[in-house]
Structure 1
């Protein structure tokens, strides 16, 4: 294969469609979400080649994950497990506060193991992308991440990691040494300012770059992004958009950057596409539903009329 290879847990997503306490919600939507599959979908929708590997349960949520990923252009390698597909439950406690609960302990996705990630598939990839979520799921999932990264390193396949710290999955104390180890093996690292503070003190760009990655990108939401790429410093502002759902914006950003990297684009083009993809994603509800196509990105260009005719 050529293109992006990633793996991890994708869940069913139950989202209340009203603002307030979950107990008062009367309507819900059901979709899918997972950091790694979000990135794979984002890359595919932008015209790149993406493979996602993961375990799913023998249930309707597993069926939906398989269907959505393949329909979205991702080459999904789904391993049917006897355990259930994990669930994420989202509701807006207020108009500006999003609350997320996970139901994933013992799930099919958490049972990912090193044998699930074929060595040859890793060796043939153009880039391997992992996150800090998968190592938090289980010992076997953590082993799968490290084995894949070590295989990629040996085969000179670039390794990308998004720190993606989730406090509901593990403590900062437990996460820090694992993330530090992964970052020292990576070529590209993505992090928010608070996530960078898990592993480095002081300025995040220089601190993370000192660990070894040649490309460090700090995602800072409405403040845009900063990057240190090949020793050059970049800073881009965010685009002004109306935020409907912030979940998935970081994954869209990563997808935009990695798609352009796979296409051989320069650092400035990678970051501009990343910023645009992240901005587009927050304008659409859902974890991955807002992943844009190249044509969609053109809709962000300022115009006097917001009606596409």
Structure 2
């Protein structure tokens, strides 16, 4: 049996993407559901890249929940940590898209085809992840635990994160945080900043967007953020088409994004993070001590994120290792 080297804890859901670009929630005529949720996206992307992963989260005992668990199993993600809630439904998010493919989370619901009936953010199964049901055995063999910040918004899931941090500390599992700020997930968005700042104290690697960096640290300088946090081993500040600034193993630099035809940016950041963690699993954290190697790791991560943005959906668009290598050969030849 292959034990997951990376555990991804948080939400798995359906992103219902608007079929009509450039329209508001009320004006969209039809939607196409794609499996998503940032931690689940990372788990699936890692498996496709060849790194065993497991997902920990909660879905409803409903058809969407069945479909998502089946997808994890088909991709090859360990689903031992998936909990099922008797009454709360599996979350579905309606995503409107601009004419250029940029997405905006517009509402929550339970139908994949209609956004006429929206729901409050606290009504969904992922908010009820139970700390007492976390499988400790998964942590005994893992190297990394990947967290987002959305589940901090709900008492049950927040307690599960606290328990996961304790288990990670017990078994020397490195903690990776992708802040993934989404105010609409929070009953009171003003609660998010202090809770996220507290969580950051426990992490080894921090991945944030440039907007999140300004919000949390009032700077996008990865080296300055790493210095301020002191205990982290790496900081990645992503800027979409602007590329990624980083401070890894004491090495600071910036890698530009690849120029690709963007179809849908949903999950591109998750693909980036999976590419980064995959390279750490394959080469070891000590790899980052070499400046050129650190740059290669971020370049690889950029490639995974860029390829993911070239197709609709998050998980469906994720590349294999061979596809990433072919992409890098092509751009190197063209460059």
TM-score of the aligned structures, taking structure 2 as reference length: 0.84
Q: Following TM superposition, by how much is the alpha carbon of 1:99 offset from its aligned partner in structure 2, in angstroms?
A: 3.0
Q: 1:35 aligns with which of 25, 35, 38?
A: 38
Residue equivalent to 1:223 = 242
Where does residue 84 of structure 2 map in the other structure? 80
SS in 1 for 2:263: coil
Which position in structure 1 is the counterpart of 2:290?
none
Which residue is 2:65 aligned to?
62
Tell me the secondary structure at the aligned position of residue 161 of structure 1.
strand
Q: Please give the residue correspondences for 1:187-266 in structure 2 after superposition, counting only pairs within 5 Å.
A: 187-209=204-226, 210-211=228-229, 212-264=231-283, 266=287
- CA–CA distance in 2 between the matches of 1:50 and 1:264? 17
Change (3 A) 1:96 1:40: closer
Q: Does 1:293 align with 2:313?
A: no
CA contact (8 A) 2:10 2:57 kept: yes
| Aligned partners of 2:101 and 2:264 also within 8 Å | no
Matched residue SS, 1:18: coil
What is the deviation of 1:21?
3.9
- Using the TM superposition, give the Cα deviation of residue 173 of structure 1 relative to its aligned residue in structure 2, in angstroms: 3.4
Equivalent residue in structure 2 for 1:15, among 14, 17, 21: 17
Structure 1 SS opposite 2:216? coil
Q: Report the CA distance between 1:63 and its aligned residue.
A: 1.3
Residues 260 and 269, structure 1, Cα contact 8 Å, conserved in 2: no
- Mapped partners of 1:193, 1:162: distance in 2: 12
Call closer, same or farther: CA 1:255–1:97 in 2, change over 3 Å.
Answer: closer
Where does structure 1 lack aligned partners over 5 or more consecutive residues? 304-309
SS at match of 2:7: strand
Cα gap change, 1:228 to 1:172, in 2 (>3 Å): farther
Equivalent-residue separation in structure 1 for 2:212 and 2:159 (angstroms):
22
Task: Please provide the CA RMSD for this pair.
Answer: 1.9
- CA–CA distance in 2 between the matches of 1:289 and 1:81? 26
Q: For residues 251-291 of structure 1, what are the alpha-carbon distances to aligned partners after superposition, in whole Å with 9 as ceiling and x for unaligned? A: 00000000111112532332121000000010000122111
Distance 2:216 2:8 in 1: 23
- TM-score by length of structure 1 reads 0.91
Does residue 164 in structure 1 map to residue 173 in structure 2? no
Instruction: Give unpaired runs (5+ residues) of structure 2.
Output: 109-120, 288-293
Secondary structure at the aligned position of 1:268 is classed as helix
Spell out, residue by residue over 1:92-125, the C-alpha distance to the aligned partner (whole angstroms, 9 max, x if none).
2544553323424221111012113223322321
Task: Answer yes or no: is the 8 Å Cα contact 2:25–2:106 preserved in 1.
Answer: no
Shift in Å, 1:218? 0.8
Give 1:22 shift. Answer: 4.3
**Bigger Cα displacement from structure 2, 124-133 vs 259-268:** 259-268
Deviation at 1:150, TM superposition (A): 2.5
More helix by share: 2
**Count of matched residue pairs:** 302
In 2: Cα distance, 1:286 partner to 1:32 partner: 7
Return the match for 1:175 from 178, 192, 215: 192
For 1:237 and 1:203, locate their aligned partners in 2 and report how far apart those are by CA, in whole Å: 15
